[in-house]
Amino acid sequence: MLRISKLTDYAIVVMVELGESPGAVLSAQALAERSHLELPTVSKVLKLLARHGLVRSYRGAHGGYRVTRPTAEISVAEIIGAIEGPIAMTECSVEVGLCSQEHVCGLRSNWQRISAAVARAMEEVSLAEMSRPARPSEPGLRIATLNA
């Protein structure tokens, strides 16, 4: 568990696909075919990505989408953020007052710190890196913890 949502998953796939042709304007239809996903789903994802400025949309005939930045400058965190909102492991990591137990719990500061660390990790993974398989030889991601 600790899953990203399916929509987010699709968003990454679509962004990878878009990133393959940085200059071209691709329609939602074309992207759906290339991604092996349904058009309405791809469409929904693209709207969210456009609203957050990760892709630029072109309306009308011959319209479509293209990435606004080189894939090396787009992070996985941004894509997750566009679809799901802020990366936070618990309600209370987002902001104060969201959890009714806040005054008796005391875990908030730790959850905030953990969430921030995970967010930072996702920020350091670019779309360009996602586009090519991780080599087995490559050292894995390392996440420094509370004491680091």
Residues that bind DNA (CB under 7 A): 1, 5-8, 10, 27-29, 38, 40-41, 43-44, 46-47, 50-51, 57-65
* Interatomic CA distance for residues 107 and 99, integer angstroms: 11
DSSP string covering 82-135: HHH-S--SSHHHH-TTS-TTHHHH--HHHHHHHHHHHHHHHHTSBHHHHHSPPP
Q: How far is the CB of 81 from DNA (least distance, A)?
A: 14
Number of residues that bind a copy of itself (CB under 8 A): 56
Q: Which does 106 bind (CB under 5 to 8 A by kind): DNA, a copy of itself, none?
A: a copy of itself
Six-digit token string for 93: 């990591």
* Interatomic CA distance for residues 76 and 79, integer angstroms: 5
Our CB check for a copy of itself shows the closer of 23 and 133 to be: 133
Our CB check for a copy of itself shows the closer of 57 and 91 to be: 91
Q: How far is the CB of 12 from DNA (least distance, A)?
A: 12
Q: Which does 128 bind (CB under 5 to 8 A by kind): a copy of itself, DNA, none?
A: none
Q: Which does 40 bind (CB under 5 to 8 A by kind): DNA, a copy of itself, none?
A: DNA
Our CB check for a copy of itself shows the closer of 31 and 130 to be: 130
Six-digit token string for 115: 């969430």
The pattern of x and - marking residues 92 through 131 that bind a copy of itself according to CB under 8 A reads ---------x--xxxxxxx-xxxxxxx-xxx-xx---xx-
* Interatomic CA distance for residues 68 and 73, integer angstroms: 10
Cα dihedral value 33, 38, 9, 19, nearest 10:
30
Six-digit token string for 141: 């991601």
